[in-house]
């Protein structure tokens, strides 16, 4: 330091010291501290990331007691992934994925219980097997569509594996948001594992001849009823005397309404005949309308793509639903799915139709997990019977695993999808008490381990399989959510006393406006693609196509 | 010479240190450097999104329809000619107007009751303002639990009180659903009115009341002649703030009614949410937001002008 530099330094220092003594900051200290703060933030950001990564890496897969059916299924999943069979999809995925060790896959999942599976079980196990980390991005249901589209537009590559509603497949495929899997399947998958899907679900991710995902959640509606009530000798006798028919699980909607009303008349206010989730925005209305409407011969769209709900079938469906409401628990129209479960589990309702977790909750299996203990303990365990919903049950949404086209780890992401949906791994996942993923493979429905989860699990599984044989798919096409919204608004308007005929016409007009907005010709093409799928209408269910797998 | 030698270093020491070019530039533009982060944030997080949203409202930005073609006023037309949008605007005006009026009356009564000191006043005041600190989502959930059939206790309590069975569908039947929504809003936001009006009341000089008392003025006249005029700026302030918040009513509706039955409880915010985030018609929702902003701006401008008037006099 020469004299000049020293003088400058000392002068600056004097200013600094004077300013310090006056409790003032100089510009220089401000800038210096601002720079230091920014630097610290950057450093702490990276440090925090490293700490977070380390903390996540410490989390091992959460495994059940090995003596339990779930523990055994998890052990088998691990064994199949590590030891084979060598031609199994799980083993092949793991072996091929090891080359990508160290990368991180970003997985979108519905926020809440759904995300516990990749966080607690499948994600850590996959990392243990392959060294590939997974980051679970929890999103609300609508965001599971909008965020991947937004990220695709921004070309950010933010996601690798997407959990999507099957209804979104055509939009996402045509928009380039998701990638087809055919080449990867040819390269890595054991084709026998594709044939293990129930026929209803096998074709579901197919669009324009290509496979756009792996189906991953068998959301089949089924009827759950109180066996003790249906088998009560006095009630059976009274029902026989009144209707000259046996009191048994209903096969038609007329029977359903008649039995519901009969039980309500006999047992209310202790028990009511039925309950439904009819609250606006809870999807019960749309699913129920769609299943009854199509089972009654209704066509969602005619040849010119005009909505077909303002028809005799539509009116008949609404009238049947109104009769069901009248025979149901008070407040039926205010219930959402969870409060309906509460009503059923506490023994207030004799029949409900809903998603598969109903059976697991009724047996008190789900509630064994802390994460789901907000659901009341079942007071009807051991008293619940299973039947196919009258007519054709709705497959109410479900989930596909899809490959994000913008992923920078396409192959690793695909291999994860193949592994996580492979027969042994997916079995362990659908057996998790908290995860809300429901059986969808034939090997799930036939699984002895699953059948050991609770005393009536075997009948439960068989019923889900048999329901899928005659099940109907939600429309898989752009605008599906608009059509659903119109149906939901129509139903709740009618529940509040609106004229069914007028409500049908309003909803049909809304649906037509949606079709016109999206383009009549393109919607027609999308609908034609949908109609090719087994389960698209009551005339081409898996059973009617001769592909049913009967389990008795 | 010795003096000179002493002086020169002192002069040099007093001179500003030589700075690098960057330092010199920073020195010259220091005020701009200081405000740059704030300006950058405002530009990036407010102005750009606002301008972008204006662009979006004139193009196709729909997550179901590929491409971003210019569509002119189509998005605005879709909103203007949508009966649900028009209904949602009417309902917004009704719900927010009714709620705010009730909150004002109750808040004023509570403030008048609490303005004088009494034993336990601070405890009562603390209890009164608790709802202010609760998230509207939680408020909606709590009221749902109270009102929802068959589990909520409301109908049972009413049945016991009235001596006959009450089977009101509080969340799915008009007009009860509106009463429920207003009740939840009033429960949460009356304390806001109360706090502001109480602050206004305590600032009124006590000697005015003493003089009025000496002149034998009745309590009602004192309220009209002293309290109301002095409180008016605070009343307008409270009404403006509260109205601005009430017209954005969303959370309680989302939780309590889900917009139903039909579209009977769609407010403007709920309508825009549904169009944008359930149906993914983002450009239509953006156009609707701009229209809603214009309506809101008109209301706010009128209120703020009225608010500023006393100061101008």
What is residue A534's predicted lDDT score, i.e. its pLDDT? 95
Mark whether A151 and A176 lie in a shared domain.
yes
Contact B262/A492, CB-based, under 8 Å? yes
The chain A residue lying nearest B274, using CA atoms, is A485
Q: In angstroms, rounded to a whole number, what is the distance separating the alpha carbons of residues A55 and A500?
A: 57
Q: How many CB pairs under 8 A join A and B?
A: 115
Q: What is the mean pLDDT of each run of 10 residues along chain A (552 residues)?
A: 66 60 59 68 63 55 92 97 95 97 96 93 96 95 90 92 95 94 97 95 93 97 98 97 97 97 97 96 94 95 97 97 96 93 96 97 94 90 97 95 96 98 98 93 98 97 98 94 95 96 97 94 95 95 96 88
Mark whether A425 and A507 lie in a shared domain.
no
Residue B70 falls inside a structural domain: no
> Is A91 within 8 Å of A84 (Cβ atoms)?
yes
Residue B235 falls inside a structural domain: yes
Contact B17/A478, CB-based, under 8 Å? no
Contact B16/A11, CB-based, under 8 Å? yes
What is residue A142's predicted lDDT score, i.e. its pLDDT? 86
What is the gyration radius of the CA atoms in chain B, in angstroms?
Answer: 29
Residue A6 falls inside a structural domain: no
Sign of the Cα pseudo-torsion (A412, A417, A418, A423, in order): positive
Q: In angstroms, rounded to a whole number, what is the distance separating the alpha carbons of residues B111 and B124?
A: 12
Over chain B, what is the mean pLDDT? 89
Mark whether A205 and A320 lie in a shared domain.
no
> Is A400 within 8 Å of A204 (Cβ atoms)?
yes
B172 and A CB contact within 8 Å: yes
Burial of A444 per CB tally in 10 Å (0-12, 13-18, 19+): buried
Place of tokens 């210019």: B70
Contact B64/A490, CB-based, under 8 Å? no
- pLDDT(B29) > 60: yes
- Give the residue among A371, A325, A334 at the shortest CA–CA distance from A62: A371
- Convert the pLDDT of each residue in A7-65 to its tens digit: 666 666 566 656 655 555 556 666 666 677 667 766 666 666 665 555 554 467 889 99
Which of B33, B56, B63, B270 would you mutate first to test chain A, the one with the most A CBs within 10 A?
B63
Q: In angstroms, rounded to a whole number, what is the distance separating the alpha carbons of residues A450 and A71?
A: 11
> Is A159 within 8 Å of A151 (Cβ atoms)?
yes
Mark whether A368 and A406 lie in a shared domain.
no
Residue A159 falls inside a structural domain: yes
State how far the alpha carbon of A84 is from the alpha carbons of A32, A95, A98, A186, A426, in Å.
60, 10, 15, 19, 15
Residue A330 falls inside a structural domain: yes
> Is B170 within 8 Å of B180 (Cβ atoms)?
yes
Contact A496/B277, CB-based, under 8 Å? no
Residue A449 falls inside a structural domain: no
> Is A363 within 8 Å of A384 (Cβ atoms)?
yes
Alpha helices, H only, A1-26: 3-21
Mark whether A203 and A282 lie in a shared domain.
no
What is residue B65's predicted lDDT score, i.e. its pLDDT? 79
pTM of the entire predicted model: 0.86
State how far the alpha carbon of A476 is from the alpha carbons of A205, A283, A529, in Å.
10, 16, 9
Mark whether A226 and A193 lie in a shared domain.
no
Residue B141 falls inside a structural domain: yes
Q: What angle do CA B299, B302, B305 make, to 5 degrees?
A: 145
Q: DSSP letter at A330?
A: T
The tokens for A306 are 């005009």
Mark whether A247 and A343 lie in a shared domain.
yes
Which of B280, B283, B285 would you mutate first to test chain A, the one with the most A CBs within 10 A?
B280
Sign of the Cα pseudo-torsion (A111, A117, A119, A123, in order): negative
Average pLDDT, integer, range B49-54? 93
- Convert the pLDDT of each residue in B276-296 to its tens digit: 988 889 999 999 999 999 998
Q: DSSP letter at A159?
A: -
Q: In angstroms, rounded to a whole number, what is the distance separating the alpha carbons of residues A155 and A147?
A: 12
Residue B123 falls inside a structural domain: yes
Contact A333/B169, CB-based, under 8 Å? yes
Q: In angstroms, rounded to a whole number, what is the distance separating the alpha carbons of residues A361 and A22?
A: 70
Q: In angstroms, rounded to a whole number, what is the distance separating the alpha carbons of residues A203 and A5?
A: 79
Place of tokens 């039909």: B262
B26 and A CB contact within 8 Å: yes
Mark whether A298 and A374 lie in a shared domain.
yes
B159 and A CB contact within 8 Å: no
Q: Which long-range contacts (CB under 8 A, 24 or more apart) does B108-113 make?
A: B108/B193, B108/B197, B108/B235, B110/B190, B110/B194, B110/B198, B111/B193, B111/B194, B111/B197, B111/B198, B111/B200, B111/B201, B112/B201
Mark whether A315 and A364 lie in a shared domain.
yes
Mark whether A132 and A158 lie in a shared domain.
yes
Place of tokens 């008649």: A258
State how far the alpha carbon of A433 is from the alpha carbons of A73, A358, A360, A427, A450, in Å.
13, 12, 8, 12, 11
Q: How far is A70 from chain B (nearest CA, A)?
A: 35
Residue A32 falls inside a structural domain: no
Beta carbons within 8 Å of A388's beta carbon, 6+ residues apart: A222, A223, A463, A466, A467, A470
Q: How many structural domains are present in chain A?
A: 2
Q: How many structural domains are present in chain B?
A: 1
ipTM over 0.90: no
Alpha carbon B139 to its chain's center: 16
- Give the residue among B178, B207, B156, B215 at the shortest CA–CA distance from B102: B178
> Is A473 within 8 Å of A166 (Cβ atoms)?
yes
Residue A476 falls inside a structural domain: yes
CATH number of the domain where residue A192 is located: 3.40.190.10
Q: How far is A172 from chain B (nearest CA, A)?
A: 9
A27 and B CB contact within 8 Å: yes
> Is A473 within 8 Å of A230 (Cβ atoms)?
no
- Convert the pLDDT of each residue in A235-269 to its tens digit: 999 999 999 999 999 999 999 999 999 999 999 99
**What end-to-end distance do the CA atoms of chain A give, in Å?**
94
Residue A237 falls inside a structural domain: yes
- Convert the pLDDT of each residue in B104-137 to its tens digit: 999 999 999 999 888 989 899 999 999 999 999 9
Contact A142/B278, CB-based, under 8 Å? yes
Alpha helices, H only, A22-105: 27-58, 69-82, 89-97
Polymer length in residues for chain B: 313
Identity of the residue in A27, A174, A333 whose CB atom sits nearest the CB atom of B172: A333
Residue B297 falls inside a structural domain: yes
- pLDDT(B71) > 50: yes
Residue B68 falls inside a structural domain: no
Q: In angstroms, rounded to a whole number, what is the distance separating the alpha carbons of residues B289 and B296?
A: 10
What is residue B306's predicted lDDT score, i.e. its pLDDT? 78
What is residue A451's predicted lDDT score, i.e. its pLDDT? 98
Q: Which residues of chain B does A498 touch, with a Cβ-Cβ cutoff of 8 Å?
A: 261-262
pLDDT grade for B311, boundaries at 50, 70 and 90? low
Q: In angstroms, rounded to a whole number, what is the distance separating the alpha carbons of residues A454 and A443?
A: 18
Q: How far is B108 from chain A (nearest CA, A)?
A: 35
Place of tokens 């997916």: A426
Domain hosting residue A158, numbered range: 69-215+400-436
Residue A466 falls inside a structural domain: no
Mark whether A231 and A85 lie in a shared domain.
no
- pLDDT(B310) > 80: no
A518 and B CB contact within 8 Å: yes
- Convert the pLDDT of each residue in A215-241 to its tens digit: 999 999 999 999 999 999 999 999 999
Share in percent of chain A as helix, strand, coil (round to 5): 55, 10, 35
What is residue B2's predicted lDDT score, i.e. its pLDDT? 46
CATH number of the domain where residue B238 is located: 1.10.3720.10
Q: Which helix (H) or strand (E) holds A106?
A: strand A104-110
- pLDDT(B1) > 50: no
A401 phi, psi to nearest 5 deg: -95, 125
> Is A326 within 8 Å of A261 (Cβ atoms)?
yes
The CA-based dihedral angle spanning residues A96, A97, A102, A103, taken in that order and rounded to the nearest 10 degrees: 120
Identity of the residue in A490, A495, A518 whose CB atom sits nearest the CB atom of B64: A518
The CA-based dihedral angle spanning residues A325, A329, A330, A334, taken in that order and rounded to the nearest 10 degrees: -70
What is residue A6's predicted lDDT score, i.e. its pLDDT? 67
Which of A162, A173, A331, A519 would you mutate first to test chain B, the one with the most B CBs within 10 A?
A331
- Relative to beta strand A472-473, strand A394-395 is parallel
- Relative to beta strand A394-395, strand A351-354 is unpaired
Domain hosting residue B233, numbered range: 75-312
What is residue A372's predicted lDDT score, i.e. its pLDDT? 87
B20 and A CB contact within 8 Å: no
B40 and A CB contact within 8 Å: no
Residue B46 falls inside a structural domain: no
The tokens for B163 are 């001596």
Mark whether A174 and A283 lie in a shared domain.
no
> Is A355 within 8 Å of A219 (Cβ atoms)?
yes
A233 and B CB contact within 8 Å: no
> Is A418 within 8 Å of A93 (Cβ atoms)?
yes
Q: Which residues of chain A does B14 touch, with a Cβ-Cβ cutoff of 8 Å?
A: 11
The tokens for B245 are 């918040």
Q: In angstroms, rounded to a whole number, what is the distance separating the alpha carbons of residues B39 and B44?
A: 8
Q: Which residues in chain A (408-447) have CB-CB distances under 8 A to chain B?
A: none
B135 and A CB contact within 8 Å: no
């Amino acid at each position: 330091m020469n004299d000049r530099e020293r003088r400058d330094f000392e002068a600056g220092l004097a200013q600094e010291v004077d300013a310090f003594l006056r409790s003032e900051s100089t510009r220089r200290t401000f800038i210096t501290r601002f720079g230091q703060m920014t630097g610290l933030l950057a450093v702490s950001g990276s440090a925090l990331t490293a700490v977070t990564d380390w903390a996540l890496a410490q989390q091992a897969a959460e495994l059940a007691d090995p003596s339990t059916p779930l523990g055994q299924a998890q052990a088998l999943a691990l064994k199949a992934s590590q030891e084979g069979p060598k031609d199994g999809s799980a083993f092949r995925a793991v072996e091929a994925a090891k080359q990508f060790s160290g990368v991180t896959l970003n997985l979108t999942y519905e926020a809440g219980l759904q995300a516990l599976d990749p966080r607690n079980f499948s994600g850590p196990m996959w990392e243990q097997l392959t060294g590939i980390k997974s980051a679970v991005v929890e999103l609300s249901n609508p965001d599971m569509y909008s965020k991947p589209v937004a990220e695709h537009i921004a070309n950010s590559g933010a996601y690798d594996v997407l959990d999507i509603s099957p209804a979104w497949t055509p939009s996402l495929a045509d928009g380039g948001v998701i990638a087809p899997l055919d080449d990867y399947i040819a390269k890595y998958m054991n084709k026998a594992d594709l044939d293990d899907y129930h026929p209803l679900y096998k074709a579901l991710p197919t669009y324009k001849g290509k496979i756009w995902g792996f189906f991953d959640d068998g959301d089949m509606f089924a009827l759950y009823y109180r066996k003790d009530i249906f088998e009560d000798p006095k009630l059976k006798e009274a029902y026989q005397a009144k209707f000259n028919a046996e009191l048994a699980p209903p096969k038609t909607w007329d029977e359903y309404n008649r039995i519901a009303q009969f039980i309500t008349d006999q047992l209310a206010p202790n028990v009511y005949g039925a309950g439904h989730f009819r609250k606006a925005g809870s999807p019960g209305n749309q699913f129920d309308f769609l299943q009854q409407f199509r089972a009654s011969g209704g066509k969602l769209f005619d040849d010119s793509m005009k909505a077909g709900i303002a028809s005799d079938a539509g009116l008949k469906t609404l009238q049947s639903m109104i009769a069901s409401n009248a025979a149901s628990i008070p407040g039926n129209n205010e219930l959402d799915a969870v409060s309906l479960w509460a009503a059923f589990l506490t023994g207030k309702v004799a029949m409900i139709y809903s998603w598969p977790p109903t059976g697991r909750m009724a047996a008190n299996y789900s509630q064994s997990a802390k994460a789901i203990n907000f659901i009341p303990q079942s007071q009807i365990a051991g008293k619940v019977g299973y039947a196919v919903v009258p007519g054709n049950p709705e497959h109410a949404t479900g989930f596909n695993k899809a490959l994000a086209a913008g992923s920078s780890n396409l192959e690793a992401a695909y291999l994860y999808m193949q592994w996580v949906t492979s027969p042994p791994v997916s079995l362990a996942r659908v057996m998790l008490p908290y995860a809300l993923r429901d059986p969808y493979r034939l090997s799930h429905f036939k699984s002895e381990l699953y059948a050991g989860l609770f005393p009536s699990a075997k009948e439960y599984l068989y019923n889900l399989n048999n329901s899928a044989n005659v099940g109907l798919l939600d429309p898989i096409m752009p605008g599906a959510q608009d059509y659903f919204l119109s149906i939901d608004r129509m139903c709740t308007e009618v529940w509040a006393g609106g004229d069914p005929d007028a409500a049908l016409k309003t909803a049909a007009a809304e649906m037509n406006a949606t079709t016109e907005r999206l383009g009549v010709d393109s919607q027609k093409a999308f609908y034609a693609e949908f109609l090719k799928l087994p389960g698209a209408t009551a005339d081409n269910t898996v059973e009617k196509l001769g592909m049913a797998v009967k389990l008795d | 010479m010795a003096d000179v030698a002493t002086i020169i270093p002192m002069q040099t020491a007093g001179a500003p240190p030589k700075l690098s070019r960057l330092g010199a530039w920073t020195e010259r533009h220091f005020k701009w450097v200081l405000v740059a982060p704030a300006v950058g944030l405002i530009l990036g997080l407010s102005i750009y999104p606002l301008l972008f949203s204006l662009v979006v409202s004139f193009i196709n930005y729909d997550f179901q329809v590929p491409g971003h073609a210019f569509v002119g006023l189509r998005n605005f037309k879709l909103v203007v000619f949508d009966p649900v949008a028009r209904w949602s605007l009417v309902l917004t005006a009704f719900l927010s107007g009714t709620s705010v009026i009730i909150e004002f009356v109750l808040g004023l009564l509570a403030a008048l009751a609490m303005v004088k000191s009494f034993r336990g006043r601070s405890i009562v005041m603390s209890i009164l303002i608790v709802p202010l600190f609760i998230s509207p989502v939680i408020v909606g959930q709590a009221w749902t639990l109270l009102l929802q059939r068959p589990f909520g206790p409301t109908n049972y309590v009413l049945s016991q009180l009235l001596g006959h069975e009450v089977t009101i569908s509080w969340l799915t039947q008009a007009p009860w659903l509106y009463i429920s929504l207003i009740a939840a809003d009033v429960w949460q936001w009356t304390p806001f009115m109360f706090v502001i009006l109480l602050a206004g009341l305590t600032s009124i000089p006590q000697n005015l009341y003493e003089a009025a008392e000496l002149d034998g003025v009745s309590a009602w006249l004192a309220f009209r002649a002293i309290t109301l005029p002095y409180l008016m700026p605070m009343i307008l302030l409270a009404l403006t703030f509260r109205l601005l918040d009430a017209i954005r009513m969303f959370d309680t509706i989302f939780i309590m009614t889900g917009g139903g039955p039909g579209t009977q409880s769609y407010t403007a915010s709920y309508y825009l949410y549904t169009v944008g985030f359930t149906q993914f018609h983002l450009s239509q929702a953006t156009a609707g937001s701009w229209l809603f902003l214009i309506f809101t701006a008109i209301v706010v401008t009128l209120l703020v002008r009225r608010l500023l008037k006393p100061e101008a006099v």
